[in-house]
Structure 1
Amino acid sequence: MTRARRPDPPPMRTHDVRIAAAGTAGWTVALVVLLIVDLPPSDRWWLWTCVAGIAIGVFGIWYIPRLQASRARQAEARAARRAQRPEDPAR
């Protein structure tokens, strides 16, 4: 006996910019700590790792709202195309 499948739940709303900002803040704190601690010259690459993490985080904070807006526009366009399509009577 097969039961009818329940519909999928709606996508969960997330705060992606906050997540990127938290990661960026973490890299910033790590950079400040490493600047305070006297690193030997052989370990100075950690500073550049923190700088790269901060740069990627800032890019994410800038890019994520644009990505989400683009996806929303695409979803609206798909819904509009579906609404304009005549229903198939064979369905």
Structure 2
Amino acid sequence: MAALDSGTPKHEAPEPLEGPVVATITGGTIIWFVLFLVQLPFYGWFAGHGHTWWLWTCLTGGGLGLIGVWYVRRRDAAIKRATGQQTAQAAPTE
């Protein structure tokens, strides 16, 4: 039987993907709230069939999405602040 690999990577990990993170999280949060609002008029049907968890899942997704929006906005601001500090330090002073 061949010896198992030690787990040492053979190549470097790729850089993380960066994109419109704030817009993506905001869009997903809006979708969760819209799904909640669309299902709300049918609460009686959901309750009668034991599916009220569908409503609460959408509401929870929207709530967690608000936390996510807060988090990614702060992260984005921190990244921009750090980039600005790096460029200020790299600029030659006269």
Q: Which ranges of structure 1 fall in alignment gaps of 5 or more residues?
A: 1-10, 84-91
Shift of 1:79: 6.2
Q: TM-score, normalised by structure 1?
A: 0.59
Q: TM-score, normalised by structure 2?
A: 0.57
Q: Which residue of 27, 48, 54 maps to 2:56?
A: 48
> 1:25 matched to which residue of 2?
30
CA deviations on 1:30-73 (whole Å, 9 max, x unpaired) are: 11121112212511111110111101111122121211122333
Q: Report the count of equivalent residues.
A: 73
Q: Percent identity between the aligned chains?
A: 32
Shift of 1:78: 5.8
Q: Which ranges of structure 2 fall in alignment gaps of 5 or more residues?
A: 1-16
Report SS of the residue matched to 1:42: coil
Structure-2 separation of matches of 1:26 and 1:63: 18
